[in-house]
Amino acid sequence: MPWLPASASRPADAPHTSTFAAGLESPWGMEFLPDGRLLVTERAGRLRVVDAQGERISVPVAGLPQVDRRDHGGLLDVTIDPAFEANRLIYISYTKAGRGAEAHRNGLTVARARLSEDARRIDQFKVLFSQTPKVASSENLGGRLAVSDDGHLYVTVGDRHAVQDRMRAQALAYYQGKTVRIRTDGSTPSDNPFVGRQGARPEIWSLGHRNPQGAFVHPRTGQLWVAEHGPWGGDEINIVRKGRNYGWPVVTFGCEYTTCARLGEGTSKPGMEAPLTHWGRPGIAPSNLILYTGDQFPQWRGSVFVGGLAGKAVWRIELAGSDALPIVVRREALFSELGERIRDIRQGPDGGLYLLTDGERARVVRVSRGDALL
């Protein structure tokens, strides 16, 4: 029998990976425009536009704010308004340094702007959310954005990795370790769970998070799904419900770095929500996650995909049960042969998967059916 390359034995409809766009520098987030072009952020404060064929990457879009690039900070996520084709509004998250004596501190900031018709600049810039007080740390930032069709903008905010301040994730006076819900004009919805509570930040939607770097709004239930980093192990996916407490740092499936000393009070406690699924040590360091609804891979429709930074793979999570009360029936790691950190993941207009990697070969990888390339 003659020798054949491994690719020759693949089914024609098997997933195929290829470079869609390369030459990026420390990218963090991406979002498709309705015309097939792709917005990509770079942490140094640059927003670039990749053409629909992946052949050209633009010069940086003009009008972006100054960002604090220290450690994990900089320009982070980007997403578009549900009515983008009419209003051309985009949303960005970034870290903003303090002034004067506060220059060593920063805060997560979210802004809205209008992208010009030629996508070369932004204007009508408006800050919608600013984390205060600012923090002397540029780690565990969170920073993921998710917009719902009914005009709400969700923002994930990390605990900022200061051991002495961990319990701020449980305190409603602080944004650290929370998800935030605002309207797309920056105002606070009157039905947020802690509106009117003395000492509470009214924008808070949920509490008890460590470093949530992934988020989407389920298209059928309207529920917010979040992926978050544990400490050493204990990475989680949570379905985030109004006013609920997700435990950190009181309960966790992780442990302290290096020593693996016990953290908190165990893995569960009344009044604190259990994750939909979690990973043990060493963990995957989850980035963004999506619900796959495309046509290229019908066998994957309805699965959740989450990128892994430390895990250097994409995890497919197969679900059963209802949309509102799903059950995880299977998890599988995919595309580990790339050997790259997966910083973001999106479903493209063509129904393929698009992976943003952030290592030395930072690029956008397209995952498509083999026969779709013929």
Q: What percent of the chain has pLDDT over 70?
A: 96
Is the pLDDT score of 168 beyond 50?
A: yes
Mean pLDDT of 17-38: 98
- How do residues 299-333 score in pLDDT, each as one tens digit? 999 999 999 999 999 999 999 999 999 999 999 99
Provide the pLDDT for residue 373. Answer: 52
- How do residues 170-223 score in pLDDT, each as one tens digit? 999 999 999 999 999 999 999 999 999 999 999 999 999 999 999 999 999 999
Closest Cα to residue 229, out of 250, 249, 211?
211
In the chain the domains, ranked by start, together with CATH numbers, are 13-373 (2.120.10.30)
Is the pLDDT score of 117 beyond 90?
A: yes
CA of residue 312 relative to chain centroid, distance: 16
Closest Cα to residue 128, out of 148, 143, 146, 113?
113
Provide the pLDDT for residue 342. Answer: 98
**Contact predicate 195/183, CB 8 Å:** no
Q: Which residue has the tokens 């956008």?
A: 364
Provide the pLDDT for residue 1. Answer: 29
**DSSP string covering 310-372:** TTTEEEEEEEEE-SSSEEEEEEEEE-GGG---EEEEEE-TTS-EEEEE-STT-EEEEEEEGGG
Provide the pLDDT for residue 10. Answer: 55
Residue 309 or residue 136, greater confidence = 309
**CA dist., res. 18 & res. 138, Å (int):** 33
**CA dist., res. 284 & res. 109, Å (int):** 26
Provide the pLDDT for residue 359. Answer: 87
Provide the pLDDT for residue 5. Answer: 41
Q: Provide the mean pLDDT of the chain.
A: 94
- Residue 14 — very low, low, confident or very high, per pLDDT cuts 50/70/90? confident
Residue 369 or residue 47, greater confidence = 47
- Residue 110 — very low, low, confident or very high, per pLDDT cuts 50/70/90? very high
Which DSSP letter does residue 245 get?
A: B
**CA dist., res. 206 & res. 141, Å (int):** 16
Provide the pLDDT for residue 47. Answer: 99
Provide the pLDDT for residue 374. Answer: 46
Residue 137 or residue 119, greater confidence = 119
Mean pLDDT of 7-20: 75
Provide the pLDDT for residue 276. Answer: 98
**CA dist., res. 212 & res. 77, Å (int):** 13
Provide the pLDDT for residue 6. Answer: 40
Burial class (CB in 10 A: 0-12, 13-18, 19+), 179: buried
Is the pLDDT score of 4 beyond 60?
A: no
**CA dist., res. 242 & res. 225, Å (int):** 12
- How do residues 330-356 score in pLDDT, each as one tens digit? 999 999 999 999 999 999 999 999 999
**CA dist., res. 146 & res. 216, Å (int):** 5
Q: Indicate the pTM of the whole model.
A: 0.95
**Contact predicate 97/68, CB 8 Å:** yes
Provide the pLDDT for residue 2. Answer: 35
3-state SS, residue 130: strand
- How do residues 147-160 score in pLDDT, each as one tens digit? 999 999 999 999 99
